[in-house]
């Protein structure tokens, strides 16, 4: 079976529905066809200031949500990035074939660093996409299921793989992104022209949130001054976003939803959508809570995942070290 890799940062107490629809749903469906490896990328999350205790809690919570959403630890390896030392080690080698300007062109870096200023921007934020390339290339992953915001990072991973192969001979599989257009970019409920993200909690729907809070957030989602329920990203970004979420969870196409809601109001749409969302997320939340009640079992799953992937990572790193001419220890 071809291999697949993906990961999420444990930078929030809960994943949001953008993470779920943009990535996690695909993780679950793809684990049948692929040998899947899913990581909680804790090293990446050190690029933001976080309390050490909180980071540990969020790392377990992120893994619990993978499983609660349907990632099966018997089929797929689930592990914590920092448990496999090769991620950091391969990052160094890849950073030595990455151009300074090339890394500087990453739009996520440009956005974040312009907000934080040069003193507030750490070097980790700059090399972040190189660590991401290492994650993927270590496992010869052919596919990487992610949301639209990771497309450019994936492109960098591909370029680095091709560059390394060109310079040192075939070493890495060149990974393909797997991005499903319909759910690749879930927007913020309060600011529907921006993507839903961890930095704007009021505009997100969280997997671990209380159902009442979820319903309230959907009810107060920003819409527009018309009354018609119609998909139109430019004129009606709020309603379009709600329709995308609805369609992804409920299975009806957007065209069908438009027909079904003809003559109805935004309030009706929001009320029904809240029910659909709570119906899907409720059981995930409950399963995640159960898993978090037994951290020892969760840690065992994560240890098992790391044990399964470590031989793959160490073989790749050895191959890379040899190719570039690092003297093997005798």
Whether residue 186 is annotated as binding a ligand: the answer is: yes
Q: Closest approach of Cβ 259 to ligand TYM, in Å?
A: 26
218 is in an annotated binding site: no
Report which residue's Cβ sits closest to ligand TYM: 22
CB of 155 to ligand TYM, least distance (A): 13
User: Taking the chain, what is the end-to-end CA distance rounded to the nearest angstrom?
Assistant: 34
Taking a C-beta distance cutoff of 8 angstroms, is the pair 185, 148 a contact? yes
Near ligand TYM in 4-33, by CB under 6 A: 5-9, 18-19, 22-23
Stretch that binds ligand TYM, among 68-76, 128-136, 227-235, 300-308 (CB under 6 A): 128-136
Contact assessment for residue 208 and residue 169, using Cβ atoms and an 8 Å cutoff: no
Interface residue with ligand TYM, options 150, 240, 244, 316 (CB under 6 A): 150
Backbone phi, psi, residue 86, to 5°: -60, -25
Active site residue 75: no
Alpha-carbon span 37 to 321, nearest angstrom: 23
Nearer to ligand TYM, 261 or 302 (CB): 302
Q: Tokens for 102, please give them.
A: 């090339």
Of the candidate residues 37, 40, 41, 208, the single one contacting ligand TYM (CB under 6 A): 41
Closest CA to 188 of 208, 202, 176, 174: 202
The angle formed by the CA atoms of residues 153, 154 and 158, to the nearest 5 degrees, is 120
Identity of the residue, 40 or 229, whose beta carbon is nearer to ligand TYM in the bound complex: 40
Residue 131 or 215 with smaller CB distance to ligand TYM: 131
Q: Name residues contacting ligand TYM, limited to 186-205 (CB under 6 A).
A: 186, 195-196
Sheet containing 3-8: give its strands across. Answer: 77-80, 35-40, 3-8, 143-145, 176-178
**Is 147 among the annotated ligand-binding positions?**
yes
Q: Which two tokens stand for residue 70?
A: 């349907």
271 is catalytic: no
Q: Binding residue per annotation — 223?
A: no
Q: What is the DSSP string of 121-169?
A: --HHHHHHHHHHHHHHHTTT-SEEE--GGGHHHHHHHHHHHHHHHHHH-
Catalytic residue among 112, 185, 236, 270: 112
When the beta carbons of 22 and 73 are compared against ligand TYM, the nearer one is 22
Burial class (CB in 10 A: 0-12, 13-18, 19+), 284: buried
Say if residue 19 carries a ligand binding annotation: yes
Q: Which of 185, 195, 236, 270 is catalytic?
A: 195
Residue 185, interface with ligand TYM (CB under 6 A)? yes
Among 44, 60, 270, 285, binds ligand TYM (CB under 6 A): 44
Q: Which of 249, 298, 294 is nearest to 67 (CA)?
A: 298
Residues identified as active-site:
112, 195, 198
Positions touching ligand TYM (CB under 6 A) are 5-9, 18-19, 22-23, 41, 44, 132, 135-136, 144, 146-147, 149-150, 153, 184-186, 195-196
């Amino acid at each position: 079976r071809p291999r697949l890799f993906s990961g999420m940062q444990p930078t929030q107490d809960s994943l949001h529905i953008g993470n779920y629809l943009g990535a996690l749903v695909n993780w679950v469906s793809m684990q049948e066809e692929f040998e899947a490896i899913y990581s909680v990328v804790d090293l990446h999350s050190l690029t933001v200031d976080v309390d050490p205790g909180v980071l540990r809690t969020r790392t377990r919570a992120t893994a619990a949500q993978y499983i609660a959403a349907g990632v099966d630890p018997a089929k797929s390896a689930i592990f914590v990035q920092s448990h496999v030392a090769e991620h950091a080690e391969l990052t160094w080698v890849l950073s030595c074939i990455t151009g300074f300007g090339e890394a500087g062109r990453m739009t996520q870096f440009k956005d974040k660093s312009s907000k934080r200023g040069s003193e507030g921007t750490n070097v980790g934020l700059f090399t972040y996409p190189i660590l991401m390339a290492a994650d993927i290339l270590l496992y010869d992953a052919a596919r990487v299921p992610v949301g639209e915001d990771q497309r450019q990072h994936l492109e960098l991973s591909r370029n680095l793989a091709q560059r390394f192969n060109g310079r040192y001979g075939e070493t890495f599989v060149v990974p393909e992104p797997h991005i499903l257009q319909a759910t690749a970019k879930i927007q913020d409920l309060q600011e529907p022209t921006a993507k839903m993200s961890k930095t704007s909690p009021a505009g997100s729907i969280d997997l671990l949130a209380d159902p009442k809070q979820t319903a309230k957030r959907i009810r107060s989602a920003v819409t527009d001054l018309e009354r018609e329920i119609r998909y139109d990203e430019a004129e009606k970004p709020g309603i379009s976003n709600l329709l995308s979420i609805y369609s992804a969870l409920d299975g009806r196409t957007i065209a069908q939803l438009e027909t079904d809601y003809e003559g109805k109001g935004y309030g009706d749409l929001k009320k029904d959508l809240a029910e659909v969302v709570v119906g899907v997320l409720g059981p995930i939340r409950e399963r995640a809570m159960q898993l978090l009640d037994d951290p020892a079992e969760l840690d065992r799953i994560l240890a098992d995942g790391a044990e399964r992937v470590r031989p793959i990572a160490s073989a790749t790193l050895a191959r890379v070290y040899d190719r570039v001419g690092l003297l093997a220890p005798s």
